[in-house]
Amino acid sequence: MQSLSQSPTDPAFVQDPYPVYARMRAAGDLVFWPEYGMPCATSHAAVHALLRDRRFGREIPPEAAPEIPARLAPFYAIEGQSMLELEPPRHTRLRGLVLRAFTSRRIAALAPEIAALAEGLVDAFPRGEPFDLLTAFCQPIPVIVICRLLGVPEDMAPRLLRWSNAMVAMYQARRDRAIEDAAAQAATDFAAFLRAYVVERRARPADDLITHLIAAEQDGEKLTTDELIATCILLLNAGHEATVHSLGNGVKALLDHGVTPTPDNAEQVVEEILRFDPPLHMFTRYAYEDADLFGHRFARGDKVALLLGAANRDPRTWPDPERFDPNRAPVTSTSFGGGLHFCVGAPLARLEMQIALPILFRRCPAALRLAEPPRFADVYHFHGLSRLMATV
């Protein structure tokens, strides 16, 4: 296995990681990344295979688990109940209960609300002066929608957003003591708010996702309060982070390439946005047994990174992958993961993008312009803009 050194916080890499990914893919399906101290799957074939190989999973084997400092206990207490970090049988039970409440019918019913929200946000755009499309359009849509879905008051959205941003920062390459302390405090505050809200919903049920999660039952088992809290935090954190980046990256790509999304082509356009510039570039797995894959011997406890951003531009899967082309023959990208951990919120994220982007470009057909070159934030292994200044 070849080794390729690259700082994930290097400014040039943050702005455009794709040339590095191309060198990694040329070096093999698996490449050792010294800065992370682990092998990385770089090709579509390798990422696709590892996402579905049951010899690998998200849950840390006990013998490989690091010692958690007491100051970070609030953060990892929530992580320990999150279905994203668990494997069967706990994952199977939690995901099954969530899917009983997070139904395709319930998500589809949100379409008119998403459209009305997008229209209202465009109405509020300042005219004739630069403004940040991220905060004016891309951020409010997913956070307000998930608030409505959960049944949390919309005026809590800014606070939930702050907690979410602080917790998600724990996965970034720039993580430091200040980020850790902020994440632990956010986890404490977030859990306290939701615990009180769950108590209220148990006493006064409503037609919202928290109530349906409380009521969901499978084989005589229900979600515990801690599991409910972790699930709600996961839905908000994952839904906010990924969809905000996807909307922002999408607007940039559409303006850069002169593509106009419409209700007729929205599905194809959104899939190409997700392939071309996905919101999450790295997802990790642990080996649960010794395994030989792509010329490398994995031992139990070994960690491997799946480079979703690299896999999505593999020329062996997508001809001319550096070109943004919504008319490509459909091939499902790895942007929402795969296998048992395929993103439970993918249908909602797709729906939000398919509705919001055509509305934005219909309402601002010729006037929407970038006011300055967009720059990506130092948030790897996520990939999203720091701001998106525009005029209409």
pLDDT 10s digits, 159-185: 998 999 999 999 999 999 999 999 999
Pairing of strands 282-287, 291-293: unpaired
Rounded to an integer, the average pLDDT of 6-17 is 98
Under 8 Å between Cβ of 115 and 359? yes
Rounded to an integer, the average pLDDT of 273-298 is 96
- Identify the band that residue 219 occupies on the pLDDT scale cut at 50, 70 and 90: low
pLDDT given at position 367: 79
Q: What's the whole-number average pLDDT of the chain?
A: 94
pLDDT given at position 223: 85
Residue 226 amino acid letter: D
Under 8 Å between Cβ of 319 and 53? no
Per-residue CA distances from 42 to 25, 253, 294, 306 (Å): 5, 23, 11, 7
- Residue among 48, 118, 59 nearest 89 (CA): 59
- What would the pLDDT profile of 331-341 be if each residue is shown by its tens digit? 889 999 999 99
Both tokens assigned to 174: 């720039």
Task: Check the CA dihedral 54-231-175-9 and report its sign.
Answer: positive
- What would the pLDDT profile of 136-164 be if each residue is shown by its tens digit? 999 999 999 999 888 888 888 889 989 99
**Cβ neighbours around 359 below 10 Å, total:** 21
- Identify the band that residue 218 occupies on the pLDDT scale cut at 50, 70 and 90: low
- Identify the band that residue 21 occupies on the pLDDT scale cut at 50, 70 and 90: very high
pLDDT given at position 170: 95
- Identify the band that residue 241 occupies on the pLDDT scale cut at 50, 70 and 90: confident
If one compares 64 and 275, the residue with the highest pLDDT of the two is 275
Percent of the chain with pLDDT over 70: 99
Both tokens assigned to 45: 């074939």
Rounded to an integer, the average pLDDT of 198-207 is 91
- What would the pLDDT profile of 347-370 be if each residue is shown by its tens digit? 999 999 999 999 999 999 777 899
- What would the pLDDT profile of 84-123 be if each residue is shown by its tens digit? 999 999 999 889 888 888 888 889 999 999 999 999 999 9
**Which residue segments constitute the domains of the chain, with CATH numbers given?**
11-391 (1.10.630.10)
Query: What crossing angle do the helices spanning 177-203 and 157-168 adopt, rounded to 10°?
Result: 140
- What would the pLDDT profile of 37-55 be if each residue is shown by its tens digit? 999 999 999 999 999 999 9
User: What are the backbone angles phi and psi of residue 132, rounded to the nearest 5°?
Assistant: -90, 110
pLDDT given at position 289: 96
